[in-house]
Amino acid sequence: MSDTGTPTIKPRKAADKSARTRAREFALQALYQHLVGRNAATDIDAFTRDLAGFHKADSVHYDALLHGSIAQASELDALITPLLDRPLVELSPIEHGVLWIGVYEFQHCLDVPWRVVLNECIELAKSFGGTDGHKYVNGVLHGLAAQLRPVEVAASAAAGTSRKPKPGAA
Task: Give the closest residue to 28 by CA, choosing from 43, 48, 14.
Answer: 48
What pTM, to 2 d.p., does this model score? 0.83
The structural domains of the chain, with segments of one domain joined by +, span 16-159
Sign of the alpha-carbon dihedral angle for 18, 24, 85, 76: negative
The domain 16-159 having CATH identifier 1.10.940.10: the answer here is: yes
Q: Over the stretch 44-92, which tens digit does the pLDDT of each residue have? A: 999 999 999 999 999 999 999 999 999 999 999 999 999 999 999 999 9
Share of the chain above pLDDT 90, in %: 71
Q: Over the stretch 97-106, which tens digit does the pLDDT of each residue have? A: 999 999 999 9
Q: What average pLDDT does the chain have? A: 86
Using an 8 Å Cβ cutoff, are 73 and 88 in contact? no
